[in-house]
Amino acid sequence: MKKILDLLSLVANEKGLDFEEVKEAFKRSIIKTAKKILGDIDVDVELEDGELKIYQNFIVVNDDRALEKPEKYLYLDEAKEFDPEAQIGDKIRAELDLSKLGRSGAMALQNEFEREITRLLENEIYRKLISKLNTIVSAEVIKVDSEENTWVEIDGVRGVLPMRNRIKGEKFEVGDVLKALLKYVHFDNKKGIQIELSRTSPKFLEKLIEQAVPEVRDGIIKIHGSARIPGVRSKVAVSSLNPKIEPIGTIIGKNGVRINAISNELNGENIDVIEYSSKPEIFIARALSPAIVKNVKINEKEGIAEVEIDPSEKAKAIGKNGVNITLASMLTKYKIQLKDAEEKKKDISKLESLFKI
């Protein structure tokens, strides 16, 4: 049995697996194989004095059960050969010789052990992938199907970047290496490990910024949230924990080098970086930039922000096809309603005229 332990150690080293887990896998393989070959027997596998030992368990009886099911029961006189003090009803352990399994049993054991090792490898890969969840991964494209889903390989596992998670207008070919957010990892006993990637998630933008800006990685600049219309425009709210470091300029970089690199990765997506405020009125006003806001009134109960704005700023606030106000609403989590400041002035002037003498 000592040689078996050496073999298990070799397997663990070659596969990069934990020796104890490999040993437990081998134990399970022996138990399953023994039951397949010898019937529904009770088997224990133990490590004693550095050696792996296999035991078949029997119950001591003094009736025909020992004749009908010899794989489970022993007559008392037989049991005393293993334990002279054995009594009826006792549980007796007899060391099982693997040679009893025969050649077919040896092959069955090898196949079962290989299956167990495959499961361990899958579990190890699964653990590694889970640790990368919601982070950016690089993956090689191995296939683009008829529905334009992009299939990739990560750590030897096939994953998919669905068309819905791909930025509009971008295409990938076999052999390309793409960056994406590891959005979903699931282990299925029949299908194995399933992976889904995303290039449209706001979290992907945030992680790209984190990669490009050391101050974000170091926690000096904090990202409070982001909103995206993938490939078109996005907004990200940031703040600095160090008063000497200006968050917006730091993220944009000298001559826009940092933000431009991120934009290029997102297929030319325009990125607005705004400074976060814990006061919702200020935050909403900043989120509507480049429009200049005159006043913001919050209805917390209904989640509505009534924004007063000059007519000349309205087009900027709304943005092309409503993109700016949509992103501002997504970022601040308020439904933004614009109110014409000029109309308000007219209403006030009418009210004032009633009190003129």
For the segment 59-90, what is each residue's pLDDT rounded down to a tens digit?
A: 999 888 888 788 788 888 888 888 888 889 88
Say if residue 352's pLDDT is above 80. Answer: no
Q: What is the pLDDT of residue 342?
A: 64
Under the banding of pLDDT at 50, 70 and 90, the label for residue 215 is: very high
Question: Domains (ranges, CATH) in the chain?
Answer: 2-129 (3.30.1480), 133-198 (2.40.50.140), 201-276 (3.30.300.20), 279-357 (3.30.300.20)
- The kind and range of the H/E element at 79 are helix 76-82
Q: What is the DSSP letter of 279?
A: S
Say if residue 44's pLDDT is above 80. Answer: no
Summary mean pLDDT of the chain:
89
Higher pLDDT, 200 or 16: 200
Q: What is the pLDDT of residue 251?
A: 97
d(CA 79, CA 250): 80
Q: How far is CA 332 from CA 91, 130, 265, 277, 305, in A?
A: 69, 30, 25, 10, 10
Among 26-35, 162-171, 230-239, 314-323, name the one with the lowest average pLDDT.
26-35
Task: Specify the 3-state DSSP secondary structure of 250.
Answer: helix
Say if residue 223's pLDDT is above 70. Answer: yes
Structure tokens at 248: 């917006």
CB neighbour list of residue 235: distance below 8 Å, 6 or more residues apart: 226, 227, 271, 272, 273, 274, 287, 327, 328, 330, 331
Say if residue 346's pLDDT is above 90. Answer: no
Say if residue 239's pLDDT is above 90. Answer: yes
**Is the CB of residue 177 less than 8 Å from the CB of residue 211?**
no
Q: What is the pLDDT of residue 357?
A: 47
What ranges make up the beta strands (E) of 122-277? 136-144, 150-154, 157-161, 177-188, 192-198, 221-229, 233-240, 270-275
Q: What is the pLDDT of residue 6?
A: 83
Say if residue 355's pLDDT is above 60. Answer: no
Say if residue 351's pLDDT is above 50. Answer: no
Under the banding of pLDDT at 50, 70 and 90, the label for residue 92 is: confident
How many other C-beta atoms can be found within 10 angstroms of the C-beta atom of residue 169?
A: 10
Kindly report the pTM of this predicted structure.
0.76
Tell me whether strands 233-240 and 270-275 are parallel, antiparallel or unpaired.
Answer: parallel
Mind giving me the DSSP string for 324-336?
Answer: HHHHHHHHHTSEE
Nearest to residue 223, comparing CAs of 168, 179, 271?
Answer: 271
Task: Note the residue count of the chain.
Answer: 357
Say if residue 206's pLDDT is above 90. Answer: yes
The listed range with the strongest mean pLDDT (23-27, 124-128, 163-167) is 163-167
**Is the CB of residue 317 less than 8 Å from the CB of residue 324?**
yes
Under the banding of pLDDT at 50, 70 and 90, the label for residue 235 is: very high
Q: What is the pLDDT of residue 348?
A: 47
Q: What percent of the chain has pLDDT over 90?
A: 62
